[in-house]
Homo-oligomer: A and B are copies of this chain.
């Protein structure tokens, strides 16, 4: 018998909810029959959206969650008080094994807090890292941790390296992924106190393909598949990636529109250019998993459209099929945490 992956989807999360979330859910079940989606959110608007589409009815179910956590709300407070919010209801479904995964484009803070407090960590995992994929010249790399655990310690980074390696190999499909630690120089003696403490611990790991330091300038080249760093650094990398890409593309557009000759040139070049720039877009791969939890929690961009939602649902299927959490547990048993 084919196994079904059950995904609880935050129908109220993100700038384009519920419309794009519902569309993403419909597209997912219209493409695969091994998925069951729970649209968690305010029943009336979700139902209205859903009524616009044709899809196998048994594959989508609405779970009412009348409350909404706003982006600006302090996360800990929101999770504690809004028991009927889509995030809390959806995460409780994962906790109670009614769903295998929870996907949300809503408040990052609330998703991170909820993941830890409601879904809970795998025994032995000290900190669950958030691990988005970032585009590179060669494809994508996993950036781990990009904002879940500021001021993490060396032993946490070692767990990140291992979990990132498992994810990259089995979900993204990169064989024997190269793992590197973000540093400010290639030389062994460079780095801050955390890097100097982490480096020898990673060198000792025989179960990952650790390749040493990576300087930020080499990340876009795709020199490593798993980019390990502390959350503050990771968040700076992720946000600068987004900001600088958008600024540079803006500067280039301005250049292309600056003269009559260049405008004609731009009209001719644009289709090919758009095609290449699309390859530099990580949303194809779904959202950022919060790893090391009893279940899967995936955070997608706040600006997610249907396509990213659909891909995030498929990502949950792969995560389940490849038994990622069993692999993480095996690693923890073989290498107990301090």
Contacts and interface: CB of A to CB of B under 8 A. Distances in A.
Contact of A147 (B72, B184, B220): B184
A241 interface: yes
Question: Which of A109, A187, A251, A259 is the most central at the interface, judged by chain B CB atoms within 10 Å of its CB?
Answer: A251
A74 B184 contact: no
Nearest to A146: B184
A172 interface: no
A244 to B, nearest CB: 5
A184 B147 CA distance: 8
A173 interface: no
Contacts of A280: 248, 251
A335 interface: no
Given A239-B217, A277-B255, A192 B232 contact: yes
A57 B249 CA distance: 47
A63 B308 CA distance: 62
A247 B220 contact: yes
Contacts of A256: 269, 272-273
Interface in A209-265: 215-221, 231-233, 235-252, 254-256, 258-259, 261-262, 264-265
A1 interface: no
A264 B267 CA distance: 10
A137 B251 contact: yes
B265 A251 contact: no
B217 A240 contact: yes
A269 B261 contact: yes
SS class of chain A's interface: helix, strand, loop or mixed? helix
A266 interface: yes
A134 to B, nearest CB: 10
A275 B221 CA distance: 25
Interface residues of A, number: 68
A189 interface: yes
Contacts of A279: 251
B191 A216 contact: no
A288 to B, nearest CB: 14
A215 B274 CA distance: 28
A205 interface: no
A206 interface: no
Interface of A: 72, 74, 109, 136-137, 147, 150-151, 182, 184-185, 187, 189, 191-193, 195, 215-221, 231-233, 235-252, 254-256, 258-259, 261-262, 264-277, 279-280
Closest 5 CB pairs of A and B: A265-B268, A255-B276, A265-B269, A217-B243, A262-B272
29 contacts: A74-B187, A150-B191, A184-B236, A191-B232, A195-B232, A216-B236, A216-B237, A216-B243, A217-B240, A219-B240, A221-B243, A232-B233, A237-B240, A240-B241, A240-B244, A241-B244, A248-B248, A252-B277, A255-B274, A255-B275, A256-B273, A258-B272, A259-B272, A261-B269, A262-B268, A262-B269, A264-B265, A265-B269, A268-B268
